[in-house]
Amino acid sequence: MFNLLVEMTCPQHGIERFRIKVMRKLNMASDEIRLRLRTRPKAEIGRLYVGRHVTDEKAKEYVIDYLVQKGMIEKLISVRILA
Protein backbone atom coordinates (compact mmCIF):
# COMPACT_ATOMS: atom_id res chain seq x y z
CA MET A 1 0.00 0.00 0.00
CA PHE A 2 1.25 3.47 -0.90
CA ASN A 3 -0.17 6.94 -1.50
CA LEU A 4 -0.11 9.34 -4.40
CA LEU A 5 0.15 13.04 -3.53
CA VAL A 6 -1.62 15.21 -6.12
CA GLU A 7 -1.01 18.97 -6.19
CA MET A 8 -3.30 21.22 -8.22
CA THR A 9 -3.86 24.94 -8.54
CA CYS A 10 -7.00 26.33 -6.96
CA PRO A 11 -8.41 29.82 -7.67
CA GLN A 12 -9.54 30.26 -4.05
CA HIS A 13 -6.66 28.76 -2.06
CA GLY A 14 -3.68 28.84 -4.40
CA ILE A 15 -2.55 25.21 -4.16
CA GLU A 16 -4.76 22.26 -3.31
CA ARG A 17 -3.19 18.98 -2.19
CA PHE A 18 -4.85 15.63 -1.66
CA ARG A 19 -3.72 12.05 -1.21
CA ILE A 20 -5.00 9.02 -3.05
CA LYS A 21 -4.59 5.75 -1.20
CA VAL A 22 -3.49 2.90 -3.48
CA MET A 23 -4.35 -0.57 -2.19
CA ARG A 24 -3.26 -3.90 -3.64
CA LYS A 25 -6.04 -6.46 -3.93
CA LEU A 26 -5.23 -10.12 -4.39
CA ASN A 27 -8.73 -11.11 -5.51
CA MET A 28 -8.58 -8.94 -8.66
CA ALA A 29 -7.01 -9.60 -12.03
CA SER A 30 -3.26 -9.10 -11.67
CA ASP A 31 -3.08 -6.15 -14.10
CA GLU A 32 -6.41 -4.47 -13.30
CA ILE A 33 -6.85 -0.96 -11.89
CA ARG A 34 -10.16 0.12 -10.33
CA LEU A 35 -11.09 3.60 -9.19
CA ARG A 36 -13.28 4.48 -6.21
CA LEU A 37 -14.60 8.03 -6.09
CA ARG A 38 -15.24 9.95 -2.91
CA THR A 39 -18.66 11.62 -2.98
CA ARG A 40 -18.39 14.23 -0.24
CA PRO A 41 -17.56 17.11 -0.08
CA LYS A 42 -17.05 16.86 -3.86
CA ALA A 43 -16.51 14.02 -6.28
CA GLU A 44 -12.79 13.27 -6.43
CA ILE A 45 -10.62 10.19 -6.36
CA GLY A 46 -10.74 8.45 -2.99
CA ARG A 47 -8.90 5.17 -3.54
CA LEU A 48 -7.26 3.22 -6.27
CA TYR A 49 -7.44 -0.57 -6.17
CA VAL A 50 -4.70 -2.31 -8.14
CA GLY A 51 -3.84 -5.92 -8.95
CA ARG A 52 -0.67 -7.55 -7.73
CA HIS A 53 1.41 -6.95 -10.87
CA VAL A 54 0.63 -3.24 -11.29
CA THR A 55 3.68 -1.06 -10.67
CA ASP A 56 3.68 2.26 -8.80
CA GLU A 57 4.45 4.16 -12.00
CA LYS A 58 1.54 2.50 -13.82
CA ALA A 59 -0.85 3.62 -11.05
CA LYS A 60 0.56 7.15 -11.30
CA GLU A 61 0.04 7.16 -15.08
CA TYR A 62 -3.55 5.96 -14.59
CA VAL A 63 -4.32 8.92 -12.30
CA ILE A 64 -2.78 11.37 -14.76
CA ASP A 65 -4.81 9.86 -17.63
CA TYR A 66 -7.97 10.14 -15.50
CA LEU A 67 -7.27 13.84 -14.89
CA VAL A 68 -6.71 14.36 -18.63
CA GLN A 69 -10.09 12.76 -19.39
CA LYS A 70 -11.82 14.98 -16.83
CA GLY A 71 -10.22 18.13 -18.29
CA MET A 72 -8.28 18.98 -15.13
CA ILE A 73 -4.78 18.60 -16.58
CA GLU A 74 -4.30 22.40 -16.85
CA LYS A 75 -4.60 22.66 -13.07
CA LEU A 76 -2.20 19.80 -12.32
CA ILE A 77 1.13 20.75 -10.76
CA SER A 78 2.55 17.37 -9.76
CA VAL A 79 1.78 13.77 -8.83
CA ARG A 80 4.24 12.14 -6.43
CA ILE A 81 4.51 8.65 -4.98
CA LEU A 82 4.62 8.54 -1.16
CA ALA A 83 5.76 5.35 0.53
How many Cα atoms within 13 Å fall on the side-chain side of residue 3?
10
| Whole-number pLDDT of residue 59 | 95
Mean pLDDT of the chain: 91
| Whole-number pLDDT of residue 51 | 96
Among residues 63, 52, 72, 61, which one has the least CA distance to residue 21? 63
Of the listed ranges 24-28, 36-40, 63-67, the least confidently predicted one is 36-40
β partners of residue 80: 5
**SS (HEC) of the chain:** CEEEEEEEEECCCEEEEEEEEEEECCCCCCCCEEEEEECCCCCEEEEEEECCCCCHHHHHHHHHHHHHHCCCCCCEEEEEEEC
Q: How confident is the model at residue 81 (pLDDT cuts 50, 70, 90)?
A: very high
